[in-house]
Amino acid sequence: QEEDHLKFGNGNISLSSSSACSSLDYSSFSFSEVDPPSLGSVSPLGESERLISTTRRGRDSGNHLISAAKTDGRVTLVIPWLVDANDRIILYGNGDNCAQFSCQGEQEKYIRRWLAEDAGMPFEAMELEILFYPAKYHKFASSIFALNDICSLISEKDADVCILEEPEHLNWYRSPGSPSWTNKFHHVVGVIHTNYKAYVRSHAPAGFLAAPLTAGVNCMVVQANCHRVMKLSGVLQEFHPGNEVVENVHGIRETFLLEGQRRRSSKPTGIFKVYFIGKLLWAKGFDILLELEEYFRQQTGSYFDIDVFGTGPDEVEIKRAFEDSAKRENRMLDNLSIRSRRPPLPVRFMGMKDHSFLAGDEYSIFVNPSVTEVLCTATAEAVAMGKHVIIPYHPSNSFFHQFENCLFYNDKKSFMIQLQKALSCSPPNISNESLKILSWEAATTRCIYASVISKRDDAKNKRLERTKERHNIRKAISGLFSNNMESGTISIASFGSMEGNRCEAV
């Protein structure tokens, strides 16, 4: 290692997840669509790698950073096994098209088959190591939690570098007396891509009280279990001051990149259909979409057509709101002056479909009004496919400002202007440089560099920690001695040097 970088040890990596990885067709799962990133003489991960993650379902998040392995290295994906068959039915369904697993071997076989056949990575499908930990699905939190200490399942010889996806989620429930991840591994990197604080504030009972408590717990567990934290966007709270960085370390499947190349070389068709794809949840911005539709009608005399792909818990209610004007007005945030009954919106609900099936020229405009995302994978996929992408100015969308086919708006009027622009012309061709930024190869390189803590930064962080400790000690002692007493007032004006727990009052 170069002198300016910390040495991580022998280089094994673990990727741990609360995603059961059953339905991978929606996922951006790709652990080695890429060649090992060229880092010159510095390779922070050493000669072999091993990774760890936390999403609830692979197909929902597209957040598996298994792409850091070199050909001579070793990668272990650590994922939950739902021990209760009823939990597996709840999550994976019970229909003909649903994945059914009666044992861990069947689930592992499913993952390896998907990698080899659907993802086109037969070598990686053979080389990937998969480790299951027993877990249970908790309906009240819509999340999976481990039933025992995950660290104890990983051998000491493999405990070198660890990437925790959603480290706060993984560590909400820990076995009493179990060691922290930082005690088990030489270097632990946490990748945070879910805004739990916002979800709790919006959906939990007494969310305005529960949200700050959730944020505080998240800070404690992340700081106790990570050396380095990577946040996908600046919309997330502060977790680990001095040791966190905002960086998009997720890539997208090669399928979407190839579609961008195809569209660039094909002739414009003049077809400008609008669509949205994602979970049918009000939190995904359907309230906002209703308002945008209404404003567009007020200004132009008609609604705009849009096809919606996806399913979700709020599907029935959302469909009714778009079809029934009375329910629609009840869901709108603005108090409309005209409350007469209006016809159904020209919105078609198309059911679940993989985003890659929307490649081609039929759909050229992707609209995503959501402001609850951290960084939306569907938006990145639409950008890569060379479509017009209409999204709001928001910290979660900052990464997309660099792409020429993104159209941003900050209010209803600017949305209408951007949509009219997209409906009148073909999207600009996306460059090879832009496609490379969206690839897993570039995302993996960003991940590796963002994971490194230089010795200079490490020394700076330790100085800041010592300063903070001294400040806390001063504050605590001044509180003890600044009480009014019957015999007079005792106070300490200032403090001089401190070493450890020793303070010298001046």
Give how far the C-alpha of residue 305 lies from the chain's centroid of Cα atoms, to the nearest Å.
30
Q: Output the pLDDT for position 393.
A: 96
Tally of CA atoms within 13 A in the half-sphere of 320 that contains its CB: 8
The stretch 81-100 carries a mean pLDDT of 81
| Between 98 and 332, residue with greater pLDDT | 98
How far is 167 from 54, CA to CA, in rounded Å? 7
Least confident of 94-103, 129-138, 368-377, 483-492: 483-492
Q: Output the pLDDT for position 335.
A: 39
The stretch 454-458 carries a mean pLDDT of 75
pLDDT over 50 at 112, yes or no:
yes
The 10s digit of each residue's pLDDT in 400-443 is: 999 999 999 999 999 999 999 999 999 999 999 999 999 988 99
Cα dihedral 451, 455, 458, 462 in deg (nearest 10)? 170
Q: Output the pLDDT for position 437.
A: 95
Q: Output the pLDDT for position 18.
A: 62
Least confident of 112-126, 239-253, 371-385, 488-502: 488-502
Whether the CB-CB separation of 307 and 345 falls below 8 Å is answered with: no
The stretch 69-90 carries a mean pLDDT of 79
pLDDT over 80 at 376, yes or no:
yes
pLDDT over 90 at 195, yes or no:
no
Per DSSP, what are the bridge partners of residue 189?
163, 228
Q: Output the pLDDT for position 291.
A: 94
Phi-psi region of 360 (alpha: psi -120 to 50; beta: other; left: phi over 0): left
CA dihedral sign of residues 120, 122, 126, 128: negative
How confident is the prediction for the chain on average, in pLDDT?
A: 78
* Token pair for 283: 């939190």
Q: How confident is the model at residue 65 (pLDDT cuts 50, 70, 90)?
A: very low
| Between 486 and 375, residue with greater pLDDT | 375
Q: Output the pLDDT for position 33.
A: 33
The stretch 202-212 carries a mean pLDDT of 83
pLDDT over 60 at 40, yes or no:
no
- pLDDT above 90 covers a percentage of the chain that reads 41
Give a three-class secondary structure readout of 63-119: CCCHHHCCCCCCEEEEEEEECCHHHHHHHHCCCCCCCCCCCHHHHHHHHHHHHHHHC
